[in-house]
Chains A and B, each alone.
Chain A
């Protein structure tokens, strides 16, 4: 059976949904099913999908180290199958292979949210300085020189205390 969506590949994902008594059936190839995220809520979870994407990423990889994570003992095979990290070090252990998949799943590859006070440490300060520098640039563009001078002093102070 060919995929309902693209009509090219063999259909491997079969979705039956019953909404308000109306039964619909769709047969999709893996590629189209991946694109068609509306099915994520029911037949296969985000986690399962992630694990299958990871499988593909690892299968196509030419380099497969034999050892796993030195801290928790998570092996590549195990990580591939569960799609879960065993400890905070796993992220470095698996990073190289992980990043393309994270980009696929999340659409982004860089954190832009909260930075914890302690764990963030100097990185948090650095991010704060970057924010202030942006504000400084905007202030100069708007010709708000008094504000710009204040910002400049603050940045200087923060950089010295870093």
Chain B
């Protein structure tokens, strides 16, 4: 019922390496350049209009903004002219080159769309393989730099919004439970087990011994169950704590629309609450705002690149509050 509100994005990542080159840990600059050229021309053979962007072309600010938008990884951003990425025009597909592996194809889409993302990644994988020789072992499948990715080389993940389970302190238990069946859960923003905005990522831990479809099915089933628990908790809260919740939602809304300074932590918590209120149809506000999009927008680097300059922490909190106000009051 509220699945589309709870599951925010789906993502498939495929790790691949080229047979004839040493892997990133051992390769030299020339090899790195050749890998980028080979994959780029493989993609350009079919006219997909992907854009090739080298790491050394980007400022630190641009890099962190790309990380916040999940288009590149922190590990890729640390590199320079030996690494690059190919970005599709709709920004759904990003192919990282010379990160931990030579090639990492990543496809992101809205809602629960793992199957669609897999189909697209699979096609792009085939396009690359038409002219590029992949490292593949008959027993162990696709050879990756780290044996933890070997086999399918696939990580399937969904980003889910779990405010009700978080408020009621059930996330930790859940996290422990799913880890027992080979599924990993972590906070999307924030470090370690701390999560900002009650956003979590669920993904497969193992990559070997099961087909891509089976792994996707497993993540889908686990996600469905977590979504069901989140929905039940929402219903329970609505029944037992209606007045208290309604008050919380409108307080959050009040702060977001009036505050003059706001830290990332506070903003994430409040936006998450308003999103919950909106999804539970308990608050009449923020009708035309994509609240997840707003959460991404107010991250430090995105905020700075929106302003066109590196901001000081104080300025940042001022600008953040202003952007949130103008978004809500437009």
Residue positions of A touching B, CB distance < 8 A: 17-20, 22, 37-38, 40-43, 46-47, 50, 71-74, 82-88, 90-92, 98, 101-102, 105-120, 123
Contacts and interface: CB of A to CB of B under 8 A. Distances in A.
A106 B129 contact: no
Given A22-B169, A38-B175, A119-B134, A111 B143 contact: no
A119 B129 contact: yes
A113 B143 CA distance: 13
B148 A20 contact: no
B148 A111 contact: no
Contacts of A116: 125, 129, 134, 136, 142
B194 A91 contact: no
A114 B25 CA distance: 25
Contacts of B176: 38
A28 B318 CA distance: 45
Contact of A85 (B23, B154, B206, B208): B23
A121 to B, nearest CB: 9
> Which of the four size classes fits the interface of chain B?
35 or more
B209 A42 contact: no
Most chain B beta-carbon neighbours within 10 Å: one of A37, A87, A107, A111: A111
A98 to B, nearest CB: 7
Contact of B22 (A40, A83, A86): A86
A88 B23 CA distance: 8
Given A85-B143, A91-B137, A113 B179 contact: no
Contact of A102 (B19, B130, B145, B147): B147
Interface of B: 17, 19, 21-23, 25-26, 100, 122, 125-126, 129-130, 133-148, 150-152, 154, 166, 169, 171-172, 175-176, 179-180, 182, 184-186, 192-194, 205-212, 214-215
Contacts of B172: 17, 19
A102 B140 contact: yes
Contacts of A98: 147
A84 to B, nearest CB: 5
B31 to A, nearest CB: 10
A80 to B, nearest CB: 12
Given A106-B209, A116-B129, A87 B23 contact: yes
Contacts of B100: 84
